[in-house]
């Protein structure tokens, strides 16, 4: 009998499979398709201090083996998420959930994290630092070690639950950012967020997306994500949540061998809404095939 359990920042997951933020809503839409309690957990839609309508349309562009999105963090704001979304989520998901949080200033992050930290259903705070810093010239918090550390320290000062900082891959050295957030007190790191990409429409000869550029995700980015998880594992001692291009049980194991404790599945949910359930069901078979008795024993096994 194989053991799929892993420990993520002090909380035990039945398996390492986690639908990624922005691809799974607040869970209840997928609960109409299957029992989402089979998942390790899931990261709910990125939440900000204030409601956001998001970017102008079109927001989505197709790519070979992936997609580009520039949704722009559309969400109802943290107050309504707590008042309306979490009670609905509680009806269909009976495990701790991961709260994904975005902000445009350190104060935004502090406010939203402090609010969600008090919610019983929230097990982890996944802090997305790929947002533009409105007080820092518009550069994303996650592209500067100092800015990344500042957000991490500020959030840790007002929270009690594990803080997992989600890193942007659009940097020269991912290890410098990872080391900075670890030294500032992060309990874990999730990576990677989307790469920056674009498409151009040959008929209009203009960018497909109204925002011109957007986040490139999908199966094509798996090798980049694996490389960065591998590098960060050799740099930090805290747990890593691997994200990027994963769509099979075999790729979950590959990501764990690179150094991930748990693995988020993103764009694949938009292609096949049953993909996370299917991966959970397939994991024991794939483990047996590769003579793996316990997933927790293979974390970082490729090093």
Enter the tokens of residue 172. 């020269």
The sign of the torsion formed by the CA atoms of 70, 67, 61, 277 equals negative
Q: How many CB atoms lie within 10 A of CB 200?
A: 12
**Other Cβ atoms within 10 Å of 274 Cβ, number:** 12
> Beta-carbon neighbour count of residue 250 at 10 Å?
15
CA–CA separation, 272 and 292 (whole Å) = 27
Closest CA to 265 of 31, 15, 5: 15
| Beta carbons of 231 and 258 less than 8 angstroms apart | no
Task: Measure the CA–CA gap between 170 and 297, rounded to whole angstroms.
Answer: 31
- Is 131 one of the annotated active-site residues of the chain? yes
Task: Please identify which of the residues 9, 113, 131, 276 carries the catalytic annotation.
Answer: 131
CB 40 within 8 A of CB 9: no
Residue 102, phi-psi category: left (phi > 0), alpha (psi -120 to 50), beta (remainder): beta
Which H helix or E strand runs over 226? helix 222-233
Instruction: In whole angstroms, give the CA distance from residue 163 to residue 141.
Output: 16
Distance CA 30, CA 97 (A): 14
Angle at 38 between CA 35 and CA 43, to 5 degrees: 95
| β-bridge mates for residue 97, sequence order | 122
Which residues are the active-site residues? 131
């Amino acid at each position: 009998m194989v053991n799929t359990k892993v420990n993520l920042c002090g909380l035990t997951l039945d398996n390492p499979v986690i639908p990624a933020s922005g691809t799974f809503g607040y869970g209840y839409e997928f609960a109409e398709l299957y029992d989402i309690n089979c998942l390790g957990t899931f990261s709910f839609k990125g939440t900000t201090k204030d409601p956001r309508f998001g970017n102008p349309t079109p927001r989505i562009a197709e790519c070979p083996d992936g997609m580009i999105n520039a949704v722009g963090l559309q969400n109802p704001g943290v107050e309504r998420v707590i008042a309306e979304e979490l009670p609905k989520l509680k009806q269909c998901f009976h495990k701790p959930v991961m709260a994904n949080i975005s902000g445009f200033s350190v104060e935004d992050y502090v406010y939203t994290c402090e609010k969600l930290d008090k919610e019983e259903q929230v097990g982890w705070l996944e802090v997305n630092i790929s947002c533009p810093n409105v007080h820092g010239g518009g550069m994303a918090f996650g592209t500067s070690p100092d800015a990344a550390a500042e957000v991490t320290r500020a959030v840790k000062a007002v929270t009690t639950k594990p803080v997992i900082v989600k890193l942007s891959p659009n940097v020269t050295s991912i290890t410098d950012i990872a080391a900075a957030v670890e030294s500032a007190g992060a309990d874990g790191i999730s990576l990677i967020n989307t790469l920056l990409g674009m498409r151009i429409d040959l008929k209009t000869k203009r960018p497909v997306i109204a925002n011109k550029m957007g986040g490139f995700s999908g199966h094509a980015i798996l090798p980049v994500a694996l490389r960065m998880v591998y590098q960060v594992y050799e740099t930090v001692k805290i747990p890593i949540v691997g994200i990027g291009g994963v769509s099979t049980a075999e790729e979950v194991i590959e990501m764990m061998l690179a150094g991930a404790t748990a693995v988020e599945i993103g764009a694949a949910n938009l292609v096949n809404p049953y993909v996370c359930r299917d991966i959970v069901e397939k994991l024991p078979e794939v483990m047996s095939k590769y003579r793996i008795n316990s997933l927790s024993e293979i974390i970082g096994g490729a090093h």
